[in-house]
Amino acid sequence: MNVFFIYAHEDPKSFGAAMHNRALSYFERNQHKVVVSDLYASGFHPIAAKWDFVVSGGAHQNYMLEQRRAAGEQEGGFAADIKDEIAKIRVADLLVIEFPLWWSAPPAIMKGWFDKVFAMGVTWDGDHRYGKGLLAGKQVLVITGTGDSESLYSPQGLHKATVTQHLYPLLHSTLAHAGLDVHKPFVAHNLTAANDDELQKYLLDLESYLDVVVSRNPEFIYKH
């Protein structure tokens, strides 16, 4: 399996980094080919703007329409950094997306990656959404962590929804919209208070869940 791992965490010594490293080790140990985009380490520029295209559409360009134009040029109309990310998506069977949960969403650098790379004409267009999305046939797994306990992420808890529900704009309106089959996210809760034993259990649980992801009976929340 070809795995494209998109990773966004600013602290290389964080537990998020530990989960990232454990997942990489799992895939490599099991003979999967892995390509990584570490957005912080690479200095990925998250702001969508006219310099994302080889030729600008002018002072009053529509960014989405510029994406469609660039995609229509065999993707040669995109700036090199975006073109490289698109190429990684093209060959991937499984996308793995990891980030810490900030304000019930990915950090801005990850949102910017989607704005620029999940381009119109590349992952979707007006005739190709959800089951007909341009990434149909590929899978995606989200890995994230929270500071609060799992009990607070429930309809009865402080946050009034699960993490999966908080991530609806990403899981449904972005990933499933592009045609991806979306695995149930892996969520590590209560990381600010967890002790070493609890953290180690999360790493073991992550490996066990990756076994499920690559199995013949994965647990999808969106399956086209």
Q: What are the pLDDT digits (tens) for 131-149?
A: 999 999 999 999 999 988 8
Instruction: Report the alpha-carbon distance of residue 108 to residue 120 in Å, rounded.
Output: 20
Domain ranges within the chain, ordered by starting residue: 2-222
Percent above pLDDT 70 for the chain:
99
Cα angle: 150, vertex 4, 70; to 5 degrees? 115
pTM of the model: 0.94
What is the structure's pLDDT at 58?
A: 67
Residues lower than pLDDT 70 in the chain: 57-59
CB–CB of 118/29 below 8 Å? Answer: no
Task: Tell me the CATH number for domain 2-222.
Answer: 3.40.50.360
- Residue pair 129/25 in contact by the 8 Å Cβ criterion: no
